Amino acid sequence: MSTRITWPQVAIAAAIGLFLFAFLVVPVLTVIYVAFVDGTGGFTLSHFVSFFHISLMRESFWNSLYVATLSVVFATIIAVPLAYFTARFQFRGALLIQTLGILPLIMPPFVGAIAMQLIFGRSGSVNLLLNDWFGFTLPIMDGLNGVIFVEAIHYFPFILMNLVVALNNIDSSMEESALNLGASGMRLFRRIVFPLAMPGYIAGAALVFIKVFDDLGTPLVLNVTNMLAPQAYLRITSVGIEDPIGYVIGVFMIVFSLVALWASALVLKGREYATMQRGYSGLAKRRLTPWQGVFAYGWIVLVLALVLAPHLGILMLSLAKVWSFSVLPEGFTLQHYATVFQDSPRMIWNTLLYCGIAAGIDVVLGTAIAYLILRTRVPARLSLDFIATAALAIPGVVLAIGYLRTFRGMELPFTDDLLTSSWLLLVVAYSIRRLPYALRSCLAALQQMHVSLEEAAENLGARKSRAIVRVVVPLMAGGILAGFVTSFMTAAVELSATLMLVTAQHDAPMSYGIYLYMQSAAGRGPGAALGVLAVAIVAIGTYLSHRLIERREAEKQSQPLARIEV
């Protein structure tokens, strides 16, 4: 590793720093600043006092906490048994569980919410049947219940995936000792396994908490407005950009994300201590007793049914002629897809364009930051990593409010268009919000490549830039692509920032289009059709990234030197 700091390195680091500063640090600080200053620029806490004086705000505050907490609780109830089955039992349903872990994530929760309303709502399929058969209905989708239900079903995979990894990393001797000492069943799980898997669980739970706290689309689609994210959106769009309460809400949202992340980091610190010997080798997977088998498969089938409900619902809605107060729609048609392709091909194109550019920016920045961190000694290179990753903790609504305020009245160079009404800002917002994912991917890819390969190229006379372009980047290609795909597909279904930053229909991406279509009677079908297309795009992306990651895993085993073709 060369120890000299070169000018190009510094220039690149400075350029990245400037980008992050302008589009992440400044907007977020602006939101915080506005929340704390009075009309004349002096420091004040009066906006916070006003906030707590408005009972709607107090109510929204508690509702957001309540919804986020209960979503974590229900996601836990769904995920923990599934994780335990896969990690500890001989079990044929493992593939099913893996599928379960991906299916919800490919559908944006606000699209799922529309479908869930039709299936579990007041006069949804389930309640109509229940009422027919047993004479009662369940208020699953009423008010906050609906938000919790939709979010829990959507985000439980975060807990599931983290927990499976954590369970597999537990030192097997711990469990063996417990078994030898006579603990088994629930007691073994409660006293030994779960406490040891805690770090993984907390990481997943914190992520669920943050995502639910930030979600704007789901409550709006379900007509719930007494929560923080919808209130921030409504205050800023209808009262106006001057309204300080919107910024106060922003500050609360940032604080809660940070606390959740901090809590998970704190617990993760204890991880080394918990697992002295990593890897799962000794303990044989146990057999399910018949009774356990019934429970395990029963649970999986139930969760599968819940997880598939929004997918089936939205598919049916997109094909239905009329679906009203009936268990299933009557009559099917392809007309809605025709409408979408006739009216809104532009929106599909916009999604591909914006998310493509955003993901492109992300992998370029990700690769550069990864290289600066691992291969150079540029000062402050770690703070680049820190700032880029901090974007995880910034809710989309807050970032959007920050943009609207910071760049208010600013015009695009060479035009008299406003920056805040240009789609470029949307692209920047996507790229900032998805940068952490791409960065992790690029860092991992670069870590796996030995520095000697790059040095060899330089010894053979290649300049630094040439070595990077011809050797380093091609060898990182798998990781870069995986990062690109992850950024792309998560940006494709983002609504929180989109809803606030889109001004013209012409410039709107699909996620906004789905929301917009759903505002008229005749638009329900086309909206659902657009939703199905969005899900299809994300599903394809997910499949591709899985393939890429699998291939990379395979490549890791093989000799890296053998594959060099410079």
Partner 1 sequence: MYPQRIVTSWLAALLLAAGATAAHAQQLTIITSFPKDLTEAYKRAFETRNPGVKVEVLNRGTSAAIAYVREAPATNKPDVFWASAPDAFEVLNKENLLAKVADLANPAVPKKVGAYPVNHPGGFYLGQALAGYGLMWNTRYMKANRLPEPKEWVDLMKPVYFGHVAISSPSRSGTTHLTIETILQGEGWEKGWQQVLMITGNSAAVTERSFGVPDGVNNGQFGIGLVIDFFGLSAKASGFPVEFVYPSMTSIVPANIGLVANARNPDMGRKFIAFALSPEGQEILLDPKIRRLPVLPATYQKAPADYPNPFGGKVKAKVNFNSELSESRYYVVSSIFDQTITFRHRELVAATKAIHEATARLAGKKNPEAQKLLEEARELAFAPIVSEAKSKDKEFLALFRDTKRDALKTKQLTGLEEYWNSTARKNYVRAAELANRAAAMAR
Site for partner 1 in 341-360 (CB under 8 A): 343, 353, 356-357, 360
Collapse the DSSP code of 284 into the 3-class scheme (helix H, G, I; strand E, B; otherwise coil) and give the result.
Answer: coil
Footprint on residues 192-251 left by partner 1 (CB under 8 A): 220, 223-226, 230, 234, 237-244
Q: Which stretch binds partner 1 (CB under 8 A): 95-103, 115-123, 183-191, 452-460?
A: 115-123
Least distance (Å) from partner 1 to the CB of residue 121?
A: 5
Footprint on residues 513-532 left by partner 1 (CB under 8 A): 516-524
The answer to whether 73 and 65 have CB atoms below 8 angstroms apart is no
Cβ-based neighbours of 230, under 8 Å, separated by 6 or more: 60, 216, 219, 220, 224
Footprint on residues 129-188 left by partner 1 (CB under 8 A): none
Phi, psi of 293 (to 5 degrees): -60, -45
For residue 522, the one-letter residue type is: A
- Show the binding pattern over residues 398-417: x = contacts partner 1 (CB under 8 A), - = does not: -----------x--x-xxxx
Closer residue to partner 1 (CB): 269 or 463: 463
Distance CA 48, CA 35 (A): 8
Closer residue to partner 1 (CB): 301 or 327: 327
Please say whether the dihedral angle defined by the alpha carbons of residues 256, 260, 261 and 267, taken in this order, is positive or negative.
Answer: positive
Q: Is 43 in the site for partner 1 (CB under 8 A)?
A: no
Kindly state the DSSP code that residue 226 receives in the 8-state scheme: -
Neighbouring C-beta atoms of residue 500, cutoff 10 Å: 23
Footprint on residues 50-109 left by partner 1 (CB under 8 A): 50, 53-56, 59
Helix 125-134 × helix 109-120 angle, to 10°: 20
Least distance (Å) from partner 1 to the CB of residue 341?
A: 13
Closer residue to partner 1 (CB): 12 or 393: 12
Least distance (Å) from partner 1 to the CB of residue 14?
A: 19
For residue 312, the one-letter residue type is: L
Extract long-range pairs of 185-192: CB within 8 Å, 24+ residues apart: 189/84
The answer to whether 436 and 210 have CB atoms below 8 angstroms apart is no
Least distance (Å) from partner 1 to the CB of residue 290?
A: 43
Least distance (Å) from partner 1 to the CB of residue 506?
A: 5
The answer to whether 411 and 419 have CB atoms below 8 angstroms apart is yes
Closer residue to partner 1 (CB): 56 or 77: 56
The answer to whether 166 and 200 have CB atoms below 8 angstroms apart is yes
Footprint on residues 318-337 left by partner 1 (CB under 8 A): 321-326
* Of the residues 504, 557, 558, 562, which one makes contact with partner 1 according to CB under 8 A: 504
Closest CA to 272 of 400, 169, 119, 371: 169
The answer to whether 224 and 150 have CB atoms below 8 angstroms apart is no
Cβ-based neighbours of 4, under 8 Å, separated by 6 or more: none
Least distance (Å) from partner 1 to the CB of residue 177?
A: 51
Query: Number of residues in contact with partner 1, rule: CB under 8 A?
Result: 74
* Of the residues 44, 145, 292, 542, which one makes contact with partner 1 according to CB under 8 A: 44
- Show the binding pattern over residues 539-558: x = contacts partner 1 (CB under 8 A), - = does not: --------------------
- Show the binding pattern over residues 441-480: x = contacts partner 1 (CB under 8 A), - = does not: ----------------------------x---xx--x--x
Q: Which stretch binds partner 1 (CB under 8 A): 174-182, 315-323, 371-379, 437-445?
A: 315-323
Closer residue to partner 1 (CB): 96 or 499: 499
Closest CA to 384 of 427, 443, 430: 443
The answer to whether 254 and 32 have CB atoms below 8 angstroms apart is yes
- What does the chain come to in residues? 566
Distance CA 209, CA 156 (A): 11
- Show the binding pattern over residues 262-301: x = contacts partner 1 (CB under 8 A), - = does not: ----------------------------------------
